[in-house]
């Protein structure tokens, strides 16, 4: 598939460098039309970004077809601990490429149980890590160290220490890592953040956001492990429990997301979207709140966190007009939701264009597309590791305060919990052997 | 969760009497905790696994609450109780596992002995839980226990876990035990990772040995060690280590001599990390490495070099250091450097925009959009107007450059030069959202050149305010500016005072030529209101055919129900042309259907009036649909007669059923009577089926 072996080994002229320059050259030169333009263009087989997809469950079902539909991408491998999932994904991939190329029996996608098999392949440029949260860091770190670019689902990590490690590794290896907090690539959320960042609603003091609630976790009885499922690998670094279908199922209403062992429940699920937008709007992408207060603390009806300037974010407080996030400033309000919904007070703010001197936020119109583009250009994507880490930190600290049922004070510069040694132990979780970072 | 009196126990009392009293009270309270734990044990191991959850949460609540700040006595006592139960063979295994898991986050010195005993036990799950709990335990004794366990050996996965734990704890004394594990394929990666975290001289020496032998993970371990040095403030050690990794990892073909010529080349990721780490450790002497990386033949290091410069000197310092190097760099290196250059390096960025390499040009232009000032305008302007591949990017950059003099410079360009240049400048003014440009734009909009005029009108549509309304009306009246009407519509639609805007237009309509009247009437429709409606209605009776036509078409597009009366006048007039009548009936049908908030009587009156005047079945069909949208008995009565009209009975049947099905529950009798009428009319099998379905509903 890939004829850049020499380059990969010597790094004198890397495959990605070739991709970048060939893409630009393709844009600059007018080629003769005797041969199809794709033969020499950015999407020619040798120029495509080769990809491995890891975790073929519920969330990948939206990413997978998108990647198969992109002419500049070639999926070479799929990976899942469930044989039926990976075989289905392999068949889907080969069918799609067969149809695209007009050949009936395309063979060129491998299916693996172990992610290491994907990462060790030199002919793969990038991986998408769309697993449950507890696998994100381990796979992404291994991939970056092996020279791969990474798209990792949100929240980026299971623990805060994993996030620091991932961000530092991305910086040190130069990997292009995009976190799947895709609301950053939606116009309405960007505009809402620009309105807040430029001070058009004055000093923001209160923010409401609705995340919803998962059902309580359960203690589940053991069931026979289905044939073809590598259950030990599904658990990975998390504590051992007997297999039960409800524990591992992908389900937007719960499934594995209900369990603290595999994430931070709603804090990490929808929080990774809405807290992320709040961080962006407040200009806190390299910092974060300073205090986290659980529901019930001093009679509070809702969980909250507070930034150093006093701005308070309330989780699950009713939001006006059932929107997703409401920013309240001393001169106005912003309401924003998915589906390009944006309302402002004063009303004209939502249509007010930015002037040259205003803060212009990073503009991306397609989250996966932005990542692919950045793989070519080697520019930073819209949601790189440091941003993903800082957002995940907000998610996890909310989760820690909720579990400990006490306020947590946080120093975002030192990334330390202040004055609570036992709470500090939650900054990382010990991993089950032999799954180590 | 159980309420415990000691949760509010004042542990720092000065009074001796109070202290004694408290201790007695605490002793009694801890006895209470132990009893609670004893009570929970059977529930933690309940046969029905689902029933264990509540007990687990209660125990977790007790443990976590006891481990709150300033409650060390309480934490230790609770941990002691849990540790004792966890090692008690009489306690069922699921309960013991859950207790050890609480100790993972709450245990300290008091738990070490119990956890150590479990570490040596037979129960694999308890063993593993104990290892994890010891890994997190702050007491130094935990390290000794883990080290001793590793010395005893065991299955490979078990040893991997222990190596990981000791690495996490940074246990220097484990180096000698872990280092041999570098030689085993199964344990090498974990050992390298752990030794990197331990980061003592011995650990680093072991990692170097492994690196030379090509052990997987050894290079990553060395980077980890360097990072640990940095984190601990051991900058000299970090500098030496990173420098060695960077140089040793270079390929043999590199022109730089390497201290360990036999070592295999490190991956570009490892060298990148080493370069950045080296810069962080000693910024002063990092310059040479950064320069050599940027000038070298390894593109993968260019980005690292730029990051290293930023880490070492901060963003302004990196920009100042890297900018002068630009000229001698390869295109790929230039592109990396460009991303970090700031406004102080604008001149260098401008130069790069003329680089022979198209990628460098493109990156330079993009960067000018982010940091450029008035100084960049001539270059951006030239690129934006040359029609090349970067024209669009340059135009976008023109919209972003900021600082003193930028608006003035672009405004000047909009007023002078050739058509293409002026058009680009006018478009930039629009993108820059500068309302002060509007008076000049109005002037340009009136110019004879169609391109300049079109661009200015489009810009006014974006920037124009009420102040430009009069001017735009005059342009429309003059009839020489094709884009003026659209601009007027957009600007008028934005106005806060719609009535005032309408009055301005109405005042000009009397003197307008018929050809220019139509766009003004369209704007009035957009503005709405009684005055605008009256003005347009008055033109509907004008003797000039073009004027009359424009007014009727405007009324036919009126956005709200208020136009229905004027439309009824038109359809009722026997002298109205067929085309106009059809337009008016269609408009009435549309307004009746879309005006749900209007009283039903008004809507029905309009529809009935139109139905009387409708000559063709096509319009009658539309009006039958309109009737169906009014949930009222009179609408039903209006539809029924058509059920027996051969040409309209199908539409009447559909309208009747749509009305019947949408009627609220209180109108059940009416709905049934309509359905019955439809059934009796025998319109079609499909519609009769719908009628039957409704009639059969209870």
Distance of alpha carbon B278 from alpha carbon B285, whole angstroms? 9
End-to-end alpha carbon distance in chain A: 31
Measured from the Cβ of residue B131, the count of other Cβ atoms closer than 10 Å reads 26
CATH of the domain at A148: 3.40.50.720
Q: Which residues of A touch B299 (CB under 8 A)?
A: 11-14, 17
Q: State the Cα–Cα distance between residues A386 and A393, nearest whole angstrom.
A: 10
What does pLDDT average to over chain B?
A: 92
Q: Say how many domains are in chain A.
A: 2
- Phi-psi domain of A208 (left: phi exceeds 0; alpha: psi -120 through 50; beta: other): beta
Q: Are residues A177 and A236 in the same domain?
A: no
Return the domain boundaries, chain B.
1-152, 631-698
Task: Count the helices and strands in chain B (H runs, E runs).
Answer: 39, 0
Q: Looking at the structure, do residues A190 and A175 belong to the same domain, yes or no? A: no
- Residue B256 above 70 pLDDT? no
Count the Cβ atoms, other than its own, within 10 Å of residue B259: 9
Q: Is B680 helix (H, G, I), strand (E, B) or coil?
A: helix
As beta bridge partners, residue B660 has: none
Query: Are A63 and A14 contained in the same domain?
Result: yes
For residue A378, being part of any structural domain is answered with no
**Could you read off the pLDDT of A88-138 as tens digits, one per residue?**
999 999 999 999 988 878 999 999 999 999 999 999 999 999 999 999 999
Closest residue to B220, CB basis, from A145, A216, A239: A145
Specify if A255 maps to a domain. yes
Specify the 3-state DSSP secondary structure of A209: strand
Same domain, A233 and A86: no
Of residues A144, A360, A425, nearest to B136 (C-beta): A425
The answer to whether B272 and B283 are in contact (CB under 8 A) is: no
Q: Are A219 and A172 part of one and the same domain?
A: no
Closest C-alpha to A172, from B462, B258, B305: B305
Q: Is the pLDDT of residue B260 over 50?
A: no
Best mutation target among A4, A15, A172, A236 (most B Cβ atoms within 10 Å) is: A172
Residue A130 placed within a domain: yes
Average pLDDT over residues B356-363: 95
Across the interface, do B268 and A425 touch by the CB < 8 Å criterion?
no
For B128, which of A353, A379, A433 is closest by C-beta distance?
Answer: A433
> Which of the listed residues A158, A182, A206 is the one where a domain comes to its end?
A182
* Helix ranges restricted to H, A133-186: 133-145, 160-173
User: Bridge partners of A326?
Assistant: A208, A335
Tell me, what's the ipTM? 0.90
What are the phi and psi torsion angles at A15 (to 5°)? -60, -40
B262-313 pLDDT, tens digit per residue, is 567 889 999 999 999 999 999 999 999 999 999 999 999 999 999 999 999 9
Q: Which of residues 142-161 of B touch A (CB under 8 A)?
A: 156-158, 160-161
> Does the CB of A378 have a partner CB in chain B at under 8 Å?
yes
Low-confidence residues in chain A, pLDDT < 50: 1-13, 23-40
Q: What is the DSSP string of B594-649?
A: H-TTS-HHHHHHHHHHHHHH--SHHHHHHHHHHHHTS-SHHHHHHHGGGGG-TTTH
A-chain residues near B65 (CB < 8 A): 405-406
Residue A2 confidence (pLDDT): 29
User: For residue B27, what are its two tokens?
Assistant: 């002793």
* Residue A276 sits in the same domain as residue A287: yes
Residues A189 and A170 in one domain: no
Which residue from B176, B251, B178, B188 is spatially nearest to B214, judged by alpha carbons? B188
Q: Which tens digits make up the pLDDT trace of B588-625? A: 999 999 999 999 999 999 999 999 999 899 999 999 99
Domain boundary among A133, A162, A182: A182
Which of B87-101, B239-253, B403-417, B638-652 shows the lowest mean pLDDT across its residues? B239-253
Verify that A145 and A258 share a domain, yes or no.
no
**What tokens does B144 get?**
């000794």
Q: Are residues A249 and A196 in the same domain?
A: yes
Quick one: tokens of B55?
A: 């007990």
Whether residue A373 is contained in a domain is answered as no
Query: pLDDT digit string (tens) for B119-134?
Result: 999 999 999 999 999 9
pLDDT digits (tens, 9 = 90+) for B615-652: 899 999 999 999 999 999 999 999 999 999 999 999 99
Taking alpha carbons only, the member of B182, B236, B234, B232 closest to residue B208 is B182
Fold of B1-152: 1.25.10
Identify the DSSP state of A417.
Answer: E
Dig out the tokens for A328 from the structure.
């309240």
What does the pLDDT read at residue B251? 62
Contact check, Cβ <8 Å, A436/B105? no
**Interface contact B362-A24, CB threshold 8 A:** yes
Note the Cα A80 to chain centre separation in Å. 18
The tokens for B51 are 């029933």
Sheet holding A304-306, edge to edge: A341-345, A333-337, A325-329, A204-209, A312-315, A304-306, A291-293, A408-411, A416-418
The reply to whether A207 and A129 lie within a common domain is: no
Interchain contact, B64 vs A405, CB within 8 Å = yes
Q: How far, in Å, CA of A246 to CA of A255, rounded?
A: 6
- Which 3 state secondary structure label does DSSP give A129? strand
Domain that includes residue A40, residue range? 5-182
Nearest to A327 by CA among A313, A315, A348: A313
Closest-CA distance of chain A to residue B418, Å: 25
Using DSSP, state whether A22 is helix, strand or coil.
helix
Residue A275 belongs to domain with CATH number: 3.30.360.10
Residues A280 and A332 in one domain: yes
- What is the rounded CA–CA span in Å between residue B697 and residue B676? 13
In chain A, residues with a C-beta closer than 8 Å to the C-beta of B131 are 430, 433
Are B323 and B336 in contact by the 8 Å Cβ rule? The answer is no
**Is residue A381 domain-resident?**
no
Task: Return the residue of B nearest to A376 by Cα.
Answer: B359
Task: Check CB contact under 8 Å for B299 and A11.
Answer: yes
Identify whether A346 is preceded by a cis peptide bond (ω within 30 of 0).
yes
Residues A404 and A260 in one domain: yes
What are the residue ranges of helices labelled H in B432-497? 438-445, 450-463, 469-478, 484-494
pLDDT at residue A41, as a whole number: 52
| Chain B, window 262-301: residues with a beta carbon less than 8 angstroms from a chain A beta carbon | 267-269, 272-273, 276-277, 297-300
Residues linked to residue A418 through DSSP beta bridges, in sequence order: A409
> What pLDDT score was predicted for residue A37?
33
């Amino acid at each position: 598939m890939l004829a850049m072996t020499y380059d990969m080994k010597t790094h004198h002229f890397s495959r990605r460098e070739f991709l970048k320059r060939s893409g630009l050259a393709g844009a600059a030169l007018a080629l003769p039309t005797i041969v199809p333009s794709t033969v020499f263009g950015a999407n020619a087989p040798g120029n495509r970004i080769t990809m491995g997809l890891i975790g073929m469950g519920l969330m990948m079902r939206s990413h997978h077809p998108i990647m198969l539909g992109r002419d500049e991408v070639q999926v070479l491998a799929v990976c899942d601990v469930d044989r039926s999932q990976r075989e289905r994904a392999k068949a889907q991939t080969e069918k799609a490429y067969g149809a695209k190329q007009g050949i009936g029996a395309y063979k060129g996608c491998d299916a693996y149980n172990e992610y290491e098999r994907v990462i060790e392949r030199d002919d793969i440029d990038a991986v998408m890590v769309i697993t449950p949260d507890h696998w994100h860091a381990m796979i992404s770190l291994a991939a970056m160290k092996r020279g791969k670019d990474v798209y990792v689902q949100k929240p980026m990590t299971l623990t805060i220490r994993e996030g620091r490690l991932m961000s530092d590794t991305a910086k040190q290896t130069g990997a292009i890592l995009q976190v799947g907090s895709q609301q950053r690539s939606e116009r309405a959320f960007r505009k809402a953040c620009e309105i807040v960042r430029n001070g058009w609603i004055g000093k923001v003091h209160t923010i409401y956001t609705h995340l919803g609630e998962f059902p309580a976790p359960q203690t589940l009885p053991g069931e026979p492990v289905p044939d073809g499922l590598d259950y030990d690998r599904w658990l990975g670094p998390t504590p051992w429990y007997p297999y039960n279908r409800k524990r591992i199922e992908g389900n937007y209403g719960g499934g594995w997301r209900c369990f603290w062992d595999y994430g931070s429940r709603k804090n990490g699920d929808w929080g990774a979207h809405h807290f992320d937008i709040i961080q962006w709007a407040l200009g806190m992408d390299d910092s974060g709140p300073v205090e986290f207060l659980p529901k019930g603390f001093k009679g509070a009806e809702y969980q909250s966190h507070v930034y150093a300037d006093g701005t308070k974010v309330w989780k699950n407080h009713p939001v006006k007009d059932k929107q997703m996030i409401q920013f309240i400033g001393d001169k106005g309000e912003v309401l924003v939701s998915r589906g390009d919904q944006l309302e402002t007070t004063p009303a004209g703010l939502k249509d007010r264009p930015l002037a040259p001197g205003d803060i212009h936020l990073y503009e991306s119109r397609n989250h996966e597309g932005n990542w692919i583009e950045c793989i070519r250009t080697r520019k930073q994507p819209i949601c790189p590791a440091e941003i993903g880490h800082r957002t995940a930190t907000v998610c996890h600290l909310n989760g820690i305060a909720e579990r400990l049922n006490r306020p947590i004070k946080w120093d975002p510069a030192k990334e330390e919990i202040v004055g609570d040694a036992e709470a500090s132990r939650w900054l990382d979780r010990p991993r089950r052997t032999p799954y180590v970072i | 969760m159980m309420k415990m009196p000691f949760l509010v126990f004042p542990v720092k009392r000065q009074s001796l009497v109070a202290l004694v009293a408290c201790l007695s009270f605490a002793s009694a309270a801890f006895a209470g905790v132990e009893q609670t734990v004893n009570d929970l044990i059977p529930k933690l191991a309940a046969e029905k696994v689902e029933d264990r959850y509540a007990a687990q949460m209660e125990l977790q609540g007790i443990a976590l609450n006891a481990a709150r700040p300033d409650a060390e006595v309480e934490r230790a006592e609770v941990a002691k109780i849990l540790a004792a139960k966890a090692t008690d063979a009489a306690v069922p295994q699921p309960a013991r596992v859950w207790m050890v898991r609480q100790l993972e986050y709450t245990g300290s010195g008091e738990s070490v002995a119990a956890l150590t005993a479990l570490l040596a036990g037979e129960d694999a799950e308890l063993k593993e839980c104990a290892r994890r709990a010891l890994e997190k335990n702050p007491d130094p004794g935990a390290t000794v226990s883990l080290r001793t366990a590793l010395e005893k050996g065991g299955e490979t996965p078990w040893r991997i876990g222990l190596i990981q734990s000791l690495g996490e704890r940074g246990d220097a004394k484990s180096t000698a035990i872990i280092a041999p594990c570098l030689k085993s394929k199964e344990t090498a990666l974990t050992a390298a990772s752990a030794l990197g975290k331990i980061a003592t001289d011995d650990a680093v020496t072991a990692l170097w040995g492994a690196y030379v032998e090509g052990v997987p993970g050894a290079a990553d371990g060395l980077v980890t060690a360097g990072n640990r040095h940095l984190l601990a403030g051991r900058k000299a050690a970090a500098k030496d280590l990173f420098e060695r990794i960077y140089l040793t990892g270079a390929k043999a073909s590199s022109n730089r001599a390497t201290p360990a010529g036999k070592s295999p080349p490190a991956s570009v990721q490892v060298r990148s990390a080493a370069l950045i780490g080296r810069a962080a450790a000693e910024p002063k002497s990092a310059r040479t490495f950064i320069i050599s990386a940027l000038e070298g033949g390894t593109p993968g290091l260019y980005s690292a070099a730029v990051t290293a410069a930023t880490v070492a000197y901060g963003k302004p310092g990196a920009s100042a250091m890297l900018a002068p190097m630009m000229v001698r760099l390869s295109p790929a290196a230039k592109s990396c450097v460009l991303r970090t250059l700031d406004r102080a390096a604008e001149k260098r960025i401008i130069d790069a925009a003329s680089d022979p390499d198209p990628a460098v040009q493109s990156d330079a232009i993009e960067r000018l959009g982010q940091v450029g000032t008035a100084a960049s305008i001539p270059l951006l302007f030239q690129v934006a107007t040359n029609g090349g591949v970067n024209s669009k990017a340059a135009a976008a950059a023109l919209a972003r450059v900021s600082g003193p003099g930028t608006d003035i410079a672009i405004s000047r360009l909009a007023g002078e030069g050739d058509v293409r240049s002026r058009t680009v400048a006018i478009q930039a003014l629009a993108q820059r959202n500068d309302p002060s440009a509007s008076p000049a734009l109005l002037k340009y909009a009136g110019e004879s050149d169609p391109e300049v005029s079109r661009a200015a009108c489009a810009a006014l549509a974006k920037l124009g305010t009420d102040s430009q309304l009069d001017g735009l009306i005059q342009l429309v009246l003059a009839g020489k500016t094709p884009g003026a009407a659209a601009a007027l519509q957009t600007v008028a639609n934005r106005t806060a005072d719609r009535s005032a805007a309408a009055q301005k237009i109405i005042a000009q309509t009397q003197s307008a030529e018929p050809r220019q009247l139509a766009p003004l009437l369209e704007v009035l429709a957009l503005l709405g209101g009684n005055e605008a409606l009256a003005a347009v209605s008055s033109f509907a009776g004008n003797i000039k055919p073009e004027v009359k036509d424009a007014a009727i078409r405007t009324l036919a597009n009126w956005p709200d129900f208020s136009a229905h009366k004027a439309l009824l006048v038109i359809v009722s007039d026997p002298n109205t042309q067929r085309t106009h009548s059809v337009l008016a009936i269609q408009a009435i049908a549309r307004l009746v259907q879309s005006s749900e908030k209007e009283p039903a009587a008004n809507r029905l009156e309009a529809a009935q009036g139109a139905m009387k005047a409708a000559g063709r079945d096509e319009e009658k069909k539309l009006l039958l649909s309109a009737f169906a949208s009014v949930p009222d008995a009179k609408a039903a009565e209006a539809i029924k007669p058509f059920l027996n009209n051969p040409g309209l009975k199908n539409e009447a049947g559909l309208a009747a059923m749509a009305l019947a099905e949408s009627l609220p529950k209180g109108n059940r009798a009416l709905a049934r009577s309509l359905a019955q009428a439809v059934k009796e009319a025998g319109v079609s099998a499909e519609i009769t089926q719908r009628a039957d379905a409704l009639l059969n509903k209870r």
